[in-house]
Amino acid sequence: MPKVIVTIDENGAVKRDYHGYEGESCLLADEQLRAQLAQYGLSLETIQLTPKPELQVLQHTLTSSLQAEQTIIQEE
């Protein structure tokens, strides 16, 4: 079951860690969390986004596929 662990340090910095999400669904969950917090007048500013290895693999695969499609289109 997917879960989000939110940690707030003594300086007020917020760290969100998403577990159990597939692919880019963690990014959607982050948007939903931000929307829910906004209802209470809270907002989060993303300073650093660190993708987990499984998201990096997905992004690399998608980028490679797009580059291959562009090459085929340019050759036609």
What tens digit of pLDDT does each residue of 8-48 get? 999 888 889 888 888 788 889 999 999 999 999 988 887 77
- Structural tokens at position 37: 């917090």
pLDDT, residue 62, reads: 47
Q: What is the dihedral of CA 19, 21, 24, 28, to 10 degrees?
A: -90
Give the global pTM: 0.60
Q: Residue 48: its pLDDT value, please?
A: 78
d(CA 16, CA 3): 10
Structure tokens belonging to residue 27: 């990014």
